[in-house]
Chain A
Amino acid sequence: GQQVMQIPQYQHVQEGEDFTTYCNSSTTLSNIQWYKQRPGGHPVFLIQLVKSGEVKKQKRLTFQFGEAKKNSSLHITATQTTDVGTYFCAGPLNSGGSNYKLTFGKGTLLTVNP
């Protein structure tokens, strides 16, 4: 069935290093969304990308949507301890007929060594 895949599952970095997580869909997406879940917290919406090839930045975070609208990436420059958490991508996948379901990847857990 249709799914959203995310790699890597875990990433441990030294503070100051860069970090990237990748998201791939089995089908073309109308949009891709990114969420962050801090340890002990709940997922919080970060950003939505809609256009093919779109790039958006939020301070040290750079989000990209692929040209084919089937893949996306989140890159963090010079990680800080506040970046620790699990990053999820999510895209609307057809769940039958006219139904769509926002489908989440399994997430990438980022830990940062100070």
Chain B
Amino acid sequence: KAGVTQTPRYLIKTRGQQVTLSCSPISGHRSVSWYQQTPGQGLQFLFEYFSETQRNKGNFPGRFSGRQFSNSRSEMNVSTLELGDSALYLCASSLDPWGKTQYFGPGTRLLVL
């Protein structure tokens, strides 16, 4: 079974631009979670989607948004990029959103200049 895939793997943007990251979950998994990871900051939870609905949301500004499609694929968008948004963005899929094991993708490394 194919794992979680994320595109693109690397991205360089400038301040003020916007970016869209994509995540394809493991086949059959209906829940997708997004995390931001910066050095020494652990996994900062962004949001979780299940059946095209956002079920949980972390403490990030409104510039960070996401959505999930009917095939469970998910996208996250960051508008008006700031230097501090430079990070590894990880997507994880699970069977359902009730605390099941999460399987992480390789991440998208975003650099904001």
> Which residues on A are within 8 Å of B, measured CB to CB?
30-31, 33, 35, 41-45, 48, 88, 90-93, 95, 99-107
Contact = CB atoms under 8 A, between A and B. Distances in A.
Interface size class of B (residues with CB under 8 A): 20 to 34
A48 B100 CA distance: 10
Given A92-B99, A95-B56, A101 B48 contact: yes
B43 A101 contact: no
Interface string B25-43: 0000000010000000011
Given A43-B43, A43-B90, A48-B101, A101 B56 contact: yes
Interface of B: 33, 42-43, 45, 48, 55-56, 90, 92, 94, 97-107
Contact of B97 (A43, A88, A100, A107): A100
Contacts of B94: 102
A42 B106 contact: yes
**Majority SS of interface residues in chain A?**
strand
A107 B102 CA distance: 16
A100 B42 contact: no
A45 B95 CA distance: 14
A3 B99 CA distance: 14
Contacts of A106: 42
A31 B100 CA distance: 9
B42 A107 contact: yes
Given A41-B106, A88-B43, A107-B43, 16 more contacts: A31-B99, A33-B101, A35-B104, A42-B105, A42-B106, A43-B92, A43-B102, A44-B104, A45-B103, A92-B98, A100-B97, A101-B55, A102-B99, A102-B102, A104-B45, A107-B42
